[in-house]
């Protein structure tokens, strides 16, 4: 999908023209049955043909002026208002004059009078649409969003047989925090994507109607968007999770709980990334605000307003409003949701077992739940993927803490503290035929780190190594860092892992 969980900028691509030569380069007669026998209509056709074929600008200007004159005479005083040919060639005139709104109106009248010309008219609409659409793409790529919006609007005025122009406008307005305008254009993209070859674009556009309102925290508007999408795609777990999160924000916990449970009923058909996103949506909807603790104290809200960094327990203790048993009851009330998130993460990891963020988040969930059986092996899997990261090592130390093993807890905290080279992956972008990964090598110590080498392996869903790269790390100054970027070819890459090479 285009947008998960928020609307992102689409990688704008120029579109190619159709086989029909571009307007103004070569004359083309209508490819449908139109009568040009009337002398005014015929004169208009001849002037248009001359205007497209001449090499002289002044003659072109005169021919177009004459075409406009005789075609309008045909429609107003020549009795040709019911002749589709007059409207058809008037539309061609307007397009040559770059008046796409006028061309749209005239083409619509021609098609209403001559339904058999629908295909030919659609072809011409796209011929005139392509350069204006591409102008919008170029303006967007240059950062001129106002010009891009104007071009896409003009392009959509002449041709609506493809969803790209509407989708791009929806994305531009989403990025500008204008959810109503964004949703409007995503909705328009849905009928424009009726051709089966645009099935993905149609699905993404319908999904984004809900997501733009979700991102804007317009809960009442997001709900019908999600419902409409789920009516068309009932097994989409991200949409289920999104709607459930909205219900949670609205205080509809029963409805949210029912949806969260449905997510796992569709785990077999869901992508790993969808399950991970659903798991995170469950966690995001879990209350962690001090106001959710059932103490009912004005002191609580006043204290929170003064110091937002305090924990629930610290605020409650200062206000003498809760006991340890109250805190335990609060945690117990949210534990089922953490277990549901854990199940979604587990289902995703069964499909993509090396995905670092899922391993990291699920380890944290098991830590919060105090699951002594599952937390340690999962933390060990995390460190096997990401061994030179202090937060990963802290998860492993925490897992040993849950198990009650103080020596092992201290051991891994000591390893984390002793790192002279830390690896932090910032972006991981798998593509159809390759992958890009970037991040930082950091020296957290007070003295320069020695040179090193780190080998990254890129894995498919089965855990097979598709590609590998050994990156040389120079000596890094105290508290300094060194950026890295890796690009490798290979299909089916879904995860990464790395190891430090021996000296």
Q: How confident is the model over 141-162, as a mean pLDDT?
A: 92
Q: What angle do CA 272, 277, 280 make, to 5 degrees?
A: 130
pLDDT at 241: 85
DSSP designation for 250:
T
Is residue 241 a part of any domain in this protein? yes
pLDDT at 331: 65
Which of 301, 330, 345 delimits the end of a domain?
Answer: 345
Is residue 492 a part of any domain in this protein? yes
Cross-strand pairs, 454: 471, 500
pLDDT at 306: 55
Q: How confident is the model over 189-210, as a mean pLDDT?
A: 94
Residue 302 belongs to what H/E stretch?
helix 298-306
Each as own residue / partner, the long-range contacts of residues 143-150 (CB below 8 Å, 24 or more positions apart, any chain) are 145/172, 145/176, 148/172, 149/173
* Domain match, 334 and 250 both: yes
Nearest to 239 by CA among 227, 254, 221, 255: 227
CATH number of domain containing 428: 2.60.40.10
Q: How confident is the model over 290-295, as a mean pLDDT?
A: 43
Q: How confident is the model over 178-198, as a mean pLDDT?
A: 95
pLDDT at 6: 35
Q: How confident is the model over 227-244, as a mean pLDDT?
A: 91
What is the distance between the alpha carbons of residues 497 and 352, in angstroms, rounded to a whole number?
13
What is the distance between the alpha carbons of residues 397 and 403, in angstroms, rounded to a whole number?
10
Of 121-135, 247-261, 405-419, the range with the lowest mean pLDDT is 247-261
What is the distance between the alpha carbons of residues 15 and 155, in angstroms, rounded to a whole number?
12
Which of 305, 326, 345 delimits the end of a domain?
Answer: 345
* Domain match, 328 and 241 both: yes
Q: What angle do CA 247, 253, 255 make, to 5 degrees?
A: 65
* Domain match, 248 and 332 both: yes
453: confidence class by pLDDT, cuts 50, 70, 90: very high
* Domain match, 464 and 440 both: yes
264: confidence class by pLDDT, cuts 50, 70, 90: confident
- Tens of pLDDT along 334-344? 788 899 899 99
Ranked by mean pLDDT, the top range of 200-214, 314-328, 332-346 is 200-214
Is residue 14 a part of any domain in this protein? no
* Domain match, 106 and 46 both: yes
pLDDT at 304: 52
- Quick count: other Cβ atoms within 10 Å of Cβ 427? 9
CATH number of domain containing 88: 1.25.40
Is it the case that residue 67 has pLDDT exceeding 50?
yes
Is residue 319 a part of any domain in this protein? yes
Q: How confident is the model over 323-349, as a mean pLDDT?
A: 79
Is it the case that residue 159 has pLDDT exceeding 50?
yes
Is residue 406 a part of any domain in this protein? yes
Q: Is-contact 38 74, C-beta < 8 A? A: yes
Against a cut of 0.85, is the pTM above it?
no
Q: How confident is the model over 84-106, as a mean pLDDT?
A: 92
* Domain match, 287 and 363 both: no
Q: How confident is the model over 135-164, as a mean pLDDT?
A: 92
Number of domains, the chain = 4
Instruction: Please provide the average confidence, as pLDDT, over all residues in the chain.
Output: 87
Token pair, residue 451, equals 């040179």
- Cα dihedral 495, 499, 500, 503 in deg (nearest 10): -140
CATH number of domain containing 360: 1.25.40.10
* Domain match, 303 and 363 both: no
Is it the case that residue 414 has pLDDT exceeding 80?
yes
Is residue 150 a part of any domain in this protein? no
pLDDT at 287: 67
If one compares 236 and 311, the residue with the highest pLDDT of the two is 236
pLDDT at 134: 92
pLDDT at 77: 93
* Domain match, 244 and 339 both: yes
Of 31-40, 320-329, 404-413, 448-457, the range with the lowest mean pLDDT is 320-329
Of 111-115, 308-312, 341-345, 409-413, the range with the lowest mean pLDDT is 308-312
89: confidence class by pLDDT, cuts 50, 70, 90: very high
Percent of the chain residues past pLDDT 90, beyond the cut? 67
Is residue 376 a part of any domain in this protein? yes
Verify cis geometry, omega within 30 degrees of 0, for the bond prior to 5. yes
* Domain match, 341 and 238 both: yes
* Domain match, 318 and 394 both: no
pLDDT at 294: 44
* Domain match, 333 and 238 both: yes
- Cα dihedral 43, 49, 54, 58 in deg (nearest 10): 50
Q: How confident is the model over 275-280, as a mean pLDDT?
A: 85
pLDDT at 388: 97
Which of 313, 329, 345 delimits the end of a domain?
Answer: 345
Is residue 156 a part of any domain in this protein? no
Range(s) of the domain holding residue 252: 234-345
Is it the case that residue 69 has pLDDT exceeding 90?
yes
3-state secondary structure 45-80: HHHHHHHHHCCCHHHHHHHHHHHHHHHHHHHHCCCC
In a 3-state reduction of DSSP, which class is residue 459?
strand
Is it the case that residue 354 has pLDDT exceeding 60?
yes
Q: How confident is the model over 149-177, as a mean pLDDT?
A: 93
pLDDT at 252: 87
Residue 439 belongs to what H/E stretch?
strand 434-442
* Domain match, 291 and 334 both: yes
């Amino acid at each position: 999908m285009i947008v998960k969980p928020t609307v992102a900028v689409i990688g704008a691509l120029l579109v190619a023209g159709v086989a029909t030569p571009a307007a103004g380069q070569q004359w083309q007669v209508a490819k449908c049955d139109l009568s040009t026998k009337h002398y005014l209509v015929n004169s208009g056709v001849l002037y248009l043909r001359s205007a497209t074929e001449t090499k002289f600008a002044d003659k072109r200007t005169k021919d177009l002026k004459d075409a406009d004159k005789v075609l309008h005479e045909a429609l107003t005083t020549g009795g040709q208002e019911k002749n589709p040919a007059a409207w058809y060639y008037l539309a061609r005139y307007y397009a040559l004059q770059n008046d796409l709104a006028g061309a749209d109106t005239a083409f619509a009248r021609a098609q209403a009078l001559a339904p058999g010309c629908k295909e030919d008219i659609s072809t011409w609409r796209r011929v005139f649409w392509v350069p204006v659409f591409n102008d919008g793409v170029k303006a967007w790529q240059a950062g001129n969003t106002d010009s891009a919006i104007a071009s896409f609007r003009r392009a959509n005025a002449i041709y609506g047989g493809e969803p790209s122009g509407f989708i791009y406008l929806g994305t531009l307005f989403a990025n500008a925090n204008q959810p109503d305008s964004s949703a409007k254009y995503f909705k328009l993209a849905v009928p424009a994507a009726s051709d089966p070859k645009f099935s993905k674009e149609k699905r993404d556009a319908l999904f984004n109607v809900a997501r733009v309102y979700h991102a804007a925290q317009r809960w009442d508007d997001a709900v019908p968007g999600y419902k409409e999408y789920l009516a068309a795609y009932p097994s989409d777990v991200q949409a289920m999770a999104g709607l459930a999160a909205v219900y949670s924000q609205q205080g509809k916990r029963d409805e949210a709980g029912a949806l969260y449970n449905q997510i796992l009923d569709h785990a077999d058909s869901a992508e790993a990334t969808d399950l991970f996103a659903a798991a995170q949506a469950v966690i995001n909807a879990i209350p962690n605000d001090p106001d959710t603790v059932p103490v009912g104290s004005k002191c609580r809200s006043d204290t929170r307003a003064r110091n937002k960094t305090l924990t629930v327990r610290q605020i409650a203790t200062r206000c003498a409003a809760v006991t340890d048993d109250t805190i335990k009851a609060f945690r117990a009330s949210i534990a089922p949701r953490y277990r549901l998130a854990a199940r979604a993460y587990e289902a995703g990891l069964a499909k993509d077992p090396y995905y670092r963020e899922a391993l990291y988040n699920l380890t944290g969930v098991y830590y919060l739940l105090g699951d002594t059986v599952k937390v340690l092996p999962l933390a060990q899997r995390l460190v096997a993927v990401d061994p030179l990261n202090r937060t990963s090592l802290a998860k492993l130390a925490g897992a040993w803490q849950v198990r009650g093993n103080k020596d092992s807890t201290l051991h891994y905290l000591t390893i984390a503290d002793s790192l002279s080279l830390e690896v932090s992956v910032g972006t991981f972008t798998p593509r159809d035929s390759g992958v890009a990964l970037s991040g930082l090598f950091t020296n957290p110590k007070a003295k320069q780190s020695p040179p090193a080498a780190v080998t990254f392996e890129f894995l498919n869903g089965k855990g097979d190594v598709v590609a590998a790269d050994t990156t040389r790390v120079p000596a890094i100054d105290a508290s300094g860092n060194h950026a890295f970027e890796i690009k490798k070819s290979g299909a089916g890459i879904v995860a990464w892992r790395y190891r430090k090479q021996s000296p």
